[in-house]
Structure 1
Amino acid sequence: MNAVVIAVFIMLILSLLRVNVVIALVLGALAGGLTGGLSLGETVSVFTDGLGGNATIAVSYALLGAFAAALTKTGLPDAMVEASVKLVGKEGDTRRKTLSKVLIIFVILIVSCFSQNVVPIHIAFIPVMIPPLLKIFNELQVDRRLVACVITFGLTAPYILLPVGFGQIFQGILRDNMKDSGLSVSMNDIPYAMIIPVAGMVVGLILSIFVYRKPRTYETKAIAGEKPAPYTKKSLAIALLAIAVSLAVQLYLSQSLNVDGMIFGALSGLAVLLVSGVMKRGEADELITNGMNMMAFIGFVMLAAAGFAAVLNKTGDVKSLVEASTSMIHHSQTIGALLMLIVGLLITMGIGSSFATIPIITTIFVPLCLQLGFSPMATIAIIGTAAALGDAGSPASDSTLGPTSGLNADGQHHHIWDTCVPTFIYYNIPLIVFGWIAAAVL
């Protein structure tokens, strides 16, 4: 059996059985390493050495959580809740509640989409925006699985389709790796090639709204570290200034200097709150610790995912999985496209990053697509979709970890069953179907 298949299968089964995702990743990596011919000592060593691969991301998310917690001292979350309560209206006003529910979901969708392209901050908005709204979700009886699907759509579909922000990075990696593998394509062609696969995600989003539209009851609980904070116009202005400074620093570092600016963006926002006096020095430690705890889950999963990926790469079975699938094609475009998409799904589900999947699959998929007679546009659609597959449903992807971190702030949203399973059903399955269609018609 292929080590990648074994490792991903074990990780997913354990996760579905409600075993902690970090433990599932560790045990999956152990099984994959041993299956792939590595000794126990070598597997443990490679896993440990690989943990540093996502260290920057882990620290970034921890500091974002700290910044979000510090913002509570400005009263911004309380102001958001009060504004939402006024929007919802009196208890029993069914029509107004329905309209409010639609409006809030629509705003979350827009903000999520903007976080990839217009203001590329990725999941940084989640710890600031989502936890304060949980009480409103409870009042409106919003099914949080719907919110998870909406956020995940916004975190993935825009970068797959639009060559701006994270989309420019994703499509640039796709173009460069395809060129290195023997097929030169234009950046202008990639969005057109990805229209059909992204249309599949739109269909999935509509289906998720239809399925999860029914009311779901949650218990209103206090959020860890949450304390009511009075607010004034001045405190709200400082909160908005801190957010603006944080975004400006992050965008400058990422866009102008081409480095990850999330850490220093969060630090600059914290500095504004500290210097302004909104966050007192004596309470800074407690606030920052509470905020880091909120995002610590993401950090540990991302670290474990880096070790998991390191073990799979060391076995060499990632390449052999791709090569083995080619021997099953028998010069059939239909079978070939489907197998390439499934292989992409397996790899991305394990690694948790579509960006990291592209270099792995492109070296084999490009020659194979050329051999099978696929057009350049069809080849882009196959490889782009194969890389993106799994990102929306992987337990180790920040596209699922981000929504969970916000929606589970009060401990009532399960990462696997309430985020990963719904997003897998409504995005990964349509991506396979529509990616297969794109390969046939382009």
Structure 2
Amino acid sequence: MNAVLAAVGIMLVLSLCRIHVVVALIIGALAGGLIGGLGMEATLAAFNKGLGAGATVALSYALLGAFAVAIGKSGLAHALSDKALALVGRQQSEKGASSVKWLLIGLLALVAVSSQNILPIHIAFIPLLVPPLLYVLTTLQIDRRLIACVITFGLITPYMFLPVGFGNIFLNNILLANVAKAGVDVSGVNVTKAMLIPAIGMLVGLLIAVFISYRKPRVYDLARVGKAESTRTAYNPRTLAVAGLAVAVAFATQLWLDSMIIGALLGFVVFTVSGVVRWREADDLFTEGMKMMAMIGFIMISAQGFAEVMTATGQVQSLVDASAQWIGNSRGVGVMLMLLVGLLVTMGIGSSFSTVPIIAAIFVPLCVALGFSPMATVCIVGTAGALGDAGSPASDSTLGPTSGLNVDGQHHHIWDSVVPTFLHYNLPLLVFGWVAAMVL
């Protein structure tokens, strides 16, 4: 049995059985290493080697958690929540409440999309914006699985379709560069046009989630939301102004230095120097914020260890090679197998950006042999890379929404973020990616 298939399968089954994702990743990595012939000692060595690669991301999220707690101390989050509650209070009719619901969904979708290009901060906005809105979302009985799908759509679709911000990195620096490196002339390829049909598949998945799957009200325990927000922070124009300045400093630093760590740290310093966060309280607040994001950090670190073990087995390449042998001369079967391999690799690694270089070296010559055009080749490799970002237990595209929606313990990472996003985005991507490859 292929070690990668076994490891990813074990990890996913354990996660679906409500085993913690970190434990599932460790067990899956150990099983994959042993099946791949590494032995226990080499498997542990590879896993430990990979842990360091996730440290930067984990520290970034921990500092963002501290920054988020400081923003909460300023009252900015509660001011936003109070504004939304006032809107709900004024809209007593069912039609009025529905308009507030769509306003909130639209706001979250817009911010998520903007976080990939206009203000490229990725998931940093989630712990700042989502928790204070939970009371409003619960009052309106909005299904949090819907919110998870909305945010994940905004985190993935822009980078796989628009060559701006993170999309510029994925489409130009990674996708086109690796396809060209593998021997295809991409000088005349419009990458946006190549990824248009798969992006439409993402949109179709979103519309299904919004208007079919999760349109009905879902009741959550409002008392648990109130307990999570046990103290309402008083705010005034000065604290709100300081919060605005801190956010601006953090975002500007992120854009200037491309460092979430320094951005979040400087934002926290602004709160401390201004007195909004008292000096003697700073240590406790910083620790509280880091604890809030600890789970996502440990999962990201464990995922890097998992990915390193999969690489060390050498069976990612054999999986790709085996798929090439199964294809024969059938273009339709070839596209589907390439997409499925991309799905498996990305779900295990948790990163589309890391998947493309792995699969491009084999898939590009295969596409050429099957007679696919350069644009179709770009589409196949790009879609195969993007598949699995939604629906992976170790992807920040699912971990991010969970970090904001589960602050009161009423949103399960696997069943409320991973499974809904897998069904609504990976399945349409498989269909639309296949169609795109056949018609381009």
What's the TM-score, normalizing by structure 1? Answer: 0.97
Tell me by how many angstroms 1:213 deviates: 1.1
Runs of 4+ in 1 over 3 A off after TM superposition: 222-226
Tell me by how many angstroms 1:184 deviates: 2.7
Tell me by how many angstroms 1:223 deviates: 5.7
Q: Deviations over 1:226-247 (max 9, x none)?
A: 5311111111111111000000
User: Contact 2:189–2:375 (CA<8 Å) still a contact in 1?
Assistant: no
Structure-1 separation of matches of 2:423 and 2:39: 36
Tell me by how many angstroms 1:188 deviates: 5.8
Tell me by how many angstroms 1:436 deviates: 0.2
Tell me by how many angstroms 1:413 deviates: 0.2
Structure 1's 70 and 85: CA in aligned 2 closer, same or farther, altered over 3 A?
same
Alignment partner of 1:237 is 2:241: yes
Structure-2 separation of matches of 1:308 and 1:168: 27
Structure-1 separation of matches of 2:4 and 2:418: 20
Structure-2 separation of matches of 1:186 and 1:155: 28
The equivalent residue for 2:386 is 388
Task: For 1:178, give the aligned amino acid.
Answer: V
User: Contact 1:89–1:96 (CA<8 Å) still a contact in 2?
Assistant: no
Structure-2 separation of matches of 1:394 and 1:229: 36
SS at match of 2:292: helix
Structure-2 separation of matches of 1:299 and 1:412: 20
Q: Deviations over 1:317-374 (max 9, x none)?
A: 0000000000011111101000000000000000000000011000000100000000
Structure 2 spans left out of the alignment, 5+ residues: none
Equivalences for 1:238-257 in 2 at 5 Å?
238-254=242-258
Tell me by how many angstroms 1:54 deviates: 1.1
Structure 1's 125 and 223: CA in aligned 2 closer, same or farther, altered over 3 A?
farther
Tell me by how many angstroms 1:87 deviates: 1.0
Q: Deviations over 1:38-65 (max 9, x none)?
A: 1111111111111011110000000001
The equivalent residue for 1:368 is 366
The equivalent residue for 1:89 is 89
Tell me by how many angstroms 1:93 deviates: 2.5
The equivalent residue for 2:165 is 165
The equivalent residue for 1:189 is 190
Structure-2 separation of matches of 1:165 and 1:152: 17
Tell me by how many angstroms 1:187 deviates: 8.4
The equivalent residue for 1:7 is 7
User: Contact 2:189–2:374 (CA<8 Å) still a contact in 1?
Assistant: no
The equivalent residue for 1:258 is none
Task: For 1:435, give the aligned amino acid.
Answer: G
Structure-1 separation of matches of 2:10 and 2:323: 21
What's the TM-score, normalizing by structure 2? Answer: 0.97
What fraction of aligned residue pairs are identical, expressed as a percent? 58
RMSD of equivalent CA atoms: 1.1
Structure-1 separation of matches of 2:74 and 2:354: 38
Tell me by how many angstroms 1:186 deviates: 3.7
Task: For 1:392, give the aligned amino acid.
Answer: A
User: Contact 1:238–1:273 (CA<8 Å) still a contact in 2?
Assistant: yes
The equivalent residue for 2:18 is 18
Q: 1:274 aligns with which of 268, 272, 275?
A: 272
Q: 2:413 aligns with which of 408, 412, 415?
A: 415
Structure-1 separation of matches of 2:113 and 2:188: 21
Equivalences for 1:246-325 in 2 at 5 Å?
246-254=250-258, 261-325=259-323
SS at match of 2:130: helix
Q: Deviations over 1:194-232 (max 9, x none)?
A: 000010000000000021011001112246575311111
Task: For 1:367, give the aligned amino acid.
Answer: P
Task: For 1:278, give the aligned amino acid.
Answer: V
Structure 1's 170 and 232: CA in aligned 2 closer, same or farther, altered over 3 A?
same
User: Contact 1:225–1:290 (CA<8 Å) still a contact in 2?
Assistant: no
SS at match of 1:328: helix
The equivalent residue for 1:43 is 43
Counting matched residue pairs gives 436
Structure-1 separation of matches of 2:94 and 2:282: 42
Q: After alignment, is 282-291 or 35-44 more displaced?
A: 282-291
SS at match of 2:220: coil
The equivalent residue for 1:155 is 155
Task: For 1:381, give the aligned amino acid.
Answer: C
User: Contact 2:342–2:385 (CA<8 Å) still a contact in 1?
Assistant: yes
Q: Deviations over 1:105-153 (max 9, x none)?
A: 0000000000001110000000000000000011000100000000000
Task: For 2:3, give the aligned amino acid.
Answer: A
Task: For 2:216, give the aligned amino acid.
Answer: K
SS at match of 1:327: helix
The equivalent residue for 1:208 is 209
Alignment partner of 1:219 is 2:221: yes
Q: After alignment, is 100-109 or 287-296 more displaced?
A: 287-296
Task: For 2:201, give the aligned amino acid.
Answer: G
Q: 1:378 aligns with which of 376, 379, 385?
A: 376
Structure-2 separation of matches of 1:155 and 1:379: 24
Structure-1 separation of matches of 2:227 and 2:387: 33
Q: Deviations over 1:79-122 (max 9, x none)?
A: 01110011112585222111100100000000000000111000
Alignment partner of 1:27 is 2:50: no
Structure-1 separation of matches of 2:285 and 2:409: 19
Tell me by how many angstroms 1:294 deviates: 1.4
Structure-2 separation of matches of 1:30 and 1:48: 11
The equivalent residue for 2:423 is 425
User: Contact 1:223–1:409 (CA<8 Å) still a contact in 2?
Assistant: no
Tell me by how many angstroms 1:161 deviates: 0.3
User: Contact 1:60–1:262 (CA<8 Å) still a contact in 2?
Assistant: yes
Structure-1 separation of matches of 2:328 and 2:230: 60
